[in-house]
Chains A and B, each alone.
Chain A
Amino acid sequence: MTASLKFGSVSLLPSEEEVEPSIYASLEAEYRITAAADSTSWGNAERIITAVRSHLQDGSLASVTAQDNREGTIKVRVESETYDGLAAGESALMAQTQVKGYNTLEWTPNVALARPTVFDVVYSYMDFDFDDFDETILRRTYKLTLALLPFGRSKDLITVQATSSGGSSTAPSYTLINDGGSLANWSGTHEVTQTDGYVQSRGGGIQVSPGTVNAYLTYDPSTFSMGGQPYLAVDYYVATASPDGTPPAVTVTDGDNTAQKLLYKAVMVAPSDRAGFSRAFYQIPYANVKTLRFEPVFTYVGSNSSDPYILRIDKIQRSATLPSIGTNRQRARSLTVPGSARARAKLIITADAGKTLGDLTMIYTRTATTGMQPPLRPFLVSSSSVTADPTSTISGGFNSMNSSMVFLVPANRLREAMFSLVLRMSSTAVGTAPITWSAALVSASNTDLPETGQIVSGVTTVNFPNTTYLTAEVGLLQLPTVPVAPDSANLIRLTISTTSNTLYFDEGWLFDLDNGVLSWVDSTGLTRLEARTADLTNPEPSYWGGSTNGGGETNLVRADYRVWSFGTHVFEPGVVDVLTVTSGTEGSACQASFYPCWHTHAGAVAA
């Protein structure tokens, strides 16, 4: 078995590859360097643990907030025919500890079968212990100590596209398949009932240990046609011990070949027109369908074993397209970060050919969750009439702000956090206008509750220096005003009004700043924007903007001075949601470029 260990350009294990000639080659010195397994270790990342003050009666709360450098040690033996050769070997090693910039340590357990892992060296030094016997046999032993970044990384840079789940800019039209009005053709593994327009499967909370429970709900009519439309739209509601309302997967049986069935996960979740429910979309390849079996997975952790598990289906429809949130100037995307540790990445947005990003670019990232997406227009229930305008708005329409606007957001979709309210508005008159906002908890039918008295509100004066669209941050809100149980149907009523009668509203956002990261840049004239997390060569997060010149190249220039919200985007392994808003271009490509990071050994990365 041939392994390979390279410190910079010096190989620390004999291999078939030629050792790179050292600068002392003119002395015709020859040496052999061999690392020894004993006393060699890659070290381990140091954990930084932060305590959290709590009232736990037993035990204490703490979390690992970050990892610090690991210390690797390698024992190397230099052997040669001549004493000058020994010194040349020592010099070759010394040169690597003094490399300008940052060096790398590359370890491949088996050159033929394993993939290399690279550790970034922050600094390194070497020590020597004198041994008289070794001197007589022309052998010297050194100990290399290296301070390494906590995680190993893959050798190759990869680029991952953030794929958009947004479709056309018009709302899809739906054809009803089942309206949840009766139990005909419905069955399930647990208690199945029908009430209030929905079909429900419910299990009592008798789970006594952590684990998962499958509570299937099956719709099995005579074979029905998908009418050439590929999307199944299901209005669902889940109550589960893990409070993020993940839509159920569905096993679909092909109507033309009932032996054929496949399990599908939702490609998109959008608001439903029934309060408290969400609409999940599945992409189905069959022309005809026999059976739909909904398979929510309820996960019990810890001591929440008495919560019931409930799945409700309000209606099943089919549609030709997916809804998008407004125009394609605003797109909800997601990208998958491979690896097993947090990576340092460059997030890149580029405008379509011939377009610039516009004066507004916002990038909002968070670890994937089906919690509420920031855009507010889908939740607008009351306002002056909306005029469609797909060319100059983000949301696809605008309305006057003469009447106050009311948004209703499901309270269980908001994690307890600090939210920033950002509005995009225009004014027909230059000057200032006060914007008043308030949020309160209300019932599922928008009636007041005792909790409605807990109001979060404020007034902010916004200055309109001209009559074009302006994006303004108007306040910080701690939401939800009163936390609710995961199965609650209560809503947060957000009211926005102004005394000015010259204002128009395009779109608003509620950005969760505790669980997500917002970058907001004035991207006037830019065709490309990069948001980079800190890395060894640039230890601060930074923004870079490029504008395509006549030669088609983008001259990247530091764009920090254009920033209205500075964010250090986090790329943890798994799915990262990316919401992009670009006022100047409908199409935009979004990708992340990075080295996947691993605990200690690089793994395979899907192509």
Chain B
Amino acid sequence: MNPLVWMKVDGKPMSAVQAGWGEPVITNRQPYGCWEVTWSVPVLRQTRRTSLMAGKSVVVYAGPAPIWSGRMTEPNWDTGEMVAEGWVRQSEQTICLDSTGKTSSNPDVVIAQAIARGALKWVQRSSFSSVDFVPGSTTDNLNYVKALLDAVTSTASLYWGVNARQELYTAPSNPAPMWKAAPDSGQMGTTDRALVGTLYGRYLLADGTLQTAVVPNPDLNGPEVGIDLTKLGTMDLSKATSILNSILSKGRARTGWTNGIELTSSQISSLGGSQLRSGAMVVAGQGLRLEGLRDPRGLGSRTDIVLAETIWDVAQDTIQCNPVGLEARDLGSIIEDEGGEMLAFSS
């Protein structure tokens, strides 16, 4: 057992709840922050631990520092596998409302109200955005908080998430590298399936007429891509342009990656050269420099990626690093990306 990493479930250390629990696998994503943790306990025939029930809070620590927090989902007592999901997942099931019960598209109002009525167990340290996303704030449809925050950050080059201290945060989408991986740590395959050249966005003006915003990609002559922004409500040209710029900055302007790479802590050091001995500090949202690996997308002699997903298997000491711009390779996702849907039986 790694003596550094331990967990509290329902406020109690895991070893006090159930002896012999197994190593956690910690997943973080950018956006969204703490995403999932899985761990295993011995299969118990006759007993159930009351702390290991859906909804109980889970915090993973490295020494005194929290590195992941969330709550349990339904435990699987047949296999002893426990799963917890990050607090950010609550936003998938929380409606955007203001204090009077009307729908709202003002992020600060929506978040404060959701926290006040207990639907979100987040801590809001600073303003997310006090601007009504839809003019007039109220929306025709009911929306989930996650969809609203995704839409708001799409107009700025930002990611959002909920971190290990349960704090809501926003972070720039293109940070400078923080870590570097030793040479020969992995190979990155590329695909130009998601390459975009000039973006054309169709949007709805306040007076109901349709307009097109154009954002050329200065880096290369690529395919022209049309995007429908009318679902986001009425907007002006500057908002439409900033949404298109945000799409470019989030990796769509370049060829995408086909794979992530798996590293051990002995292959990762800080940019200054200080070697890591555990994966506790490598989380999604940070930049990783792959030394000695020519950037296959262009002329760079090394490749900088931004981590979209990190999966740290504590027992194996491996960190799966999936970069931003990782292209979907399974048929269902590809079809969905194109706006279609896999056919299912319907009479």
Contacts and interface: CB of A to CB of B under 8 A. Distances in A.
A338 to B, nearest CB: 23
B276 A418 contact: yes
Interface residues of B, number: 37
A509 to B, nearest CB: 10
B281 A55 contact: no
B128 interface: no
Interface string A460-495: 110000000000010110111111000000000000
Nearest to A559: B16
B212 to A, nearest CB: 41
B6 A566 contact: yes
Interface in B263-277: 264, 266-267, 270-277
A564 B1 CA distance: 19
A158 interface: no
A539 interface: yes
Nearest to B267: A53
B125 A461 contact: yes
A549 interface: no
Interface string A504-542: 000000010110011010000000000000000001111
A567 B63 contact: yes
Contacts of A52: 264, 266
A422 B6 CA distance: 18
Contacts of B339: none
A558 B65 CA distance: 22
A476 B281 contact: yes
Interface residues of A, number: 46
Contacts of A55: 182-184
B1 A568 contact: yes
Nearest to A55: B182
Nearest to A441: B272
A571 B201 CA distance: 65
Interface in B182-235: 182-184
B13 to A, nearest CB: 5
B15 interface: yes
Given A461-B125, A513-B63, A480 B274 contact: yes
Interface in A38-94: 52-55
B278 interface: yes
Contact of B64 (A434, A454, A520, A542): A520
B250 to A, nearest CB: 24
A155 B63 CA distance: 34
B156 interface: no
The residue in B4, B183, B271, B274 that gathers the most chain A C-beta atoms within 10 A of its C-beta is B274
A29 interface: no
A563 interface: yes
A352 interface: no
A416 B270 CA distance: 10
Contacts of B13: 560-561, 563, 566
B61 interface: yes
Given A456-B270, A540-B19, A418 B280 contact: yes
A417 interface: yes
Interface in A328-359: none
A584 to B, nearest CB: 20
B9 to A, nearest CB: 11
B23 interface: no
B274 A420 contact: no
B55 interface: no
B19 A461 contact: no
Nearest to A54: B266
B62 interface: yes
Q: Which 10 A-B pairs have the closest CB atoms?
A: A565-B64, A454-B272, A482-B272, A560-B16, A540-B15, A568-B3, A566-B6, A473-B64, A513-B63, A514-B277
Given A513-B63, A514-B278, 4 more contacts: A416-B274, A513-B62, A518-B63, A565-B63
19 contacts: A52-B264, A53-B266, A55-B182, A416-B274, A420-B64, A420-B65, A451-B272, A473-B65, A478-B276, A481-B270, A483-B273, A540-B20, A560-B16, A561-B13, A561-B16, A566-B6, A566-B13, A566-B61, A570-B3
